[in-house]
Amino acid sequence: MPPIWDIFCKVVDNFGDAGVCWRLAQILQREHGLRVRLWLDDLATLRALAPAVDPASAPQEVEGISILRWTDQPAMHDADVVIEAFGCGLPDAYVTRMAARSCPPLWIVLEYLSAESWVDSHHGMPSPHPRLSLQRYFFFPGFTAASGGLLREADLIGRREAFGDGARSAFWRNLSFDVPAPSVLTLSLFAYADAPVTALLTAIANDGEPAIVAVPDGVLMPSVRAFFGATDDAARSWRRGALEVRALPFLPQWRYDELLWACELNFVRGEDSLVRALWAARPLVWQPYRQDDGAHLRKMEAFLQHYCAGMSAAALGPVTALWRAWNGAAVDWNTALWSEFRAVREDWAVHAGRRAQDFAESAEMAAELVKFVRNRVE
């Protein structure tokens, strides 16, 4: 019988934690033949990403994965591997059961993604439990060979490459929108509420070059509606100058991938959408989750060093300025930033495709997890 892997996840206030854990669970089950149980404290958030999930039902099985509530009692069948996602901890009763076993499961603390240099030296390090005879291991996703790699389904690149003009047209029509003309720049916009959305929209509207901005439903919609002075609750698109904004429903994971593939520039936030935007092989602007001590800016700069490696000198300045302005560092948003992006857009697009290929040739996170476990069990 295949080994059982338990993944524990608590949803803080965004979709990324549940999104990463759901992707990981799917890859472990589909590509590595493991029995996976996903323990969550918020099934409604998972349903937004995977509509087949029923928030009122647990335990339940969706796509071959068992889904349980955080408060459920430990299952009869003990797990072989336990993943504690993002320092969420484990239920006390579950830990007590682990400690009572003659052969405890392998306990892995899955950390947040970071490009900072210290990650490589901490990846895989053991950490004994402070009270019980249990050992934990820290697993860090990352962008180097010394880290745990990036999540990627085996067929993802092929699906992206198969997403041609016909699929792009079908994507927009399925959402009841006209297909953008080839001369119109298309952007997706997924960000936290404190992003300078009004400044971005103003710059695009005043630029003179036509652009469509697709905004999935969420925390940005009040700012978008206020920008246009919108009063019609049923409206799904607005125009000002060269700008058209389209209000999209919140998309499940597989459709969000299609949105990224359908656009020529993607503004993304957090961990899960950053990695998916990398695999989309399109120019991207990332907003890390804001932290009071400014750690999010250090994460941004560390990632920029990896992402911009090999970028042309002409594109490097405008790209880094755009990222820093979007995240409230260095300069404020202005129309000049947008014009500078326009000037280097083609160079950036070539670079984005090259970096996506580079990252795809490195380690895949789920496979690295399986290897990590095998090396400590055998």
Name the residues annotated as catalytic. Answer: 17, 271
3-state secondary structure of 236: coil
3-state secondary structure of 43: helix
Inter-residue contact 7 to 83 (CB < 8 Å): yes
Burial letters for 27-37: b for 16+ Cβ neighbours within 10 Å, e otherwise? bbbbeeebbbb
CA atoms within 13 A on the CB side of 377: 15
Beta bridge partners of 229: none
Q: How far apart are CA 81 and CA 35, in angstroms?
A: 10
Which token pair is 212? 């469509």
Alpha carbon separation from 213 to 38, 62, 194, 348 (Å, rounded)? 35, 33, 18, 19
Q: Which H/E stretch holds residue 341?
A: helix 335-360
Q: Which of 213, 160, 212 is nearest to 182 (CA)?
A: 212
